[in-house]
Amino acid sequence: MAARMGLGLIDLKQASVAKAVKPFINRAMRCTVLAALVLLLVAHANAASHCIFRVHVAANANDGSVFAQPIRSLSGRNVFIEKTAWLSERDVKSFYPYRAEDGSYGALLQLDDHGRTVLDTLSVERRGSYLFVFINGRPLTELQVDRRVSDGKLYLASGLNEADIKLMAKDWKLIGGRKKK
């Protein structure tokens, strides 16, 4: 009756709703998507940084656990640092390692434009406070900000080991040289 009236309705008896609906993603498509995801994960793992570098600023103990966390500094003091790092390995452009007097290694880190701006801002706004430098998850040094640093160079006097230098060489080019792959 609806067809006679021109309403464009279809009789349910004529529609084949009982037919099985094909799955949206068939087996071949699933295998292709899975292979693409595996390739992306492998590519991401190879592109990930090898050296983890973080610079945190001393925080106030009253900032709360959301913004600050307690650590024991290398000098033996219990201090609070900001949870969010101000500088990371993404801010380093190049480095120059050397052998320190105590047998460990030191390095001069050259920061990129973003890192240089952040270090300059830190050195102006946080004068007198401490910076805590971490390499590969371990505390390396603490630096007191006593002057403006606008050249984008961060000097790590000692405390690095040979494995740290090898990891740095995977990520950053050598100052005066080319990045090794």
Token pair belonging to 41: 């994960």
Torsions phi, psi of 167, nearest 5? -65, -40
pLDDT score for 22: 54
Domains of the chain: 50-174 (3.30.1360.200)
Residue 176 half-sphere exposure, CB side, CA atoms within 13 Å? Answer: 3
pLDDT score for 63: 87
Whether residue 162 contacts residue 105, with contact meaning beta carbons closer than 8 Å, is answered with yes
pLDDT score for 56: 96
Q: Is the pTM of this model over 0.85?
A: no
Q: What is the per-residue pLDDT across 89-119, written as a single tens digit (0 to 9) for each?
A: 999 999 999 999 999 999 999 999 999 999 9
pLDDT score for 18: 46
CA–CA distance, 11 with 5 (Å, rounded to integer): 13
Q: What is the per-residue pLDDT across 146-168, written as a single tens digit (0 to 9) for each?
A: 999 999 999 999 999 999 999 99
Distance of CA 18 to the CA centre of its chain: 53
Q: Please state whether beta strands 105-111 and 130-135 pair in parallel, antiparallel, or not at all (unpaired).
A: unpaired
What residue ranges of the chain have pLDDT lower than 70?
1-31, 33, 35, 38-39, 41-49, 178-181
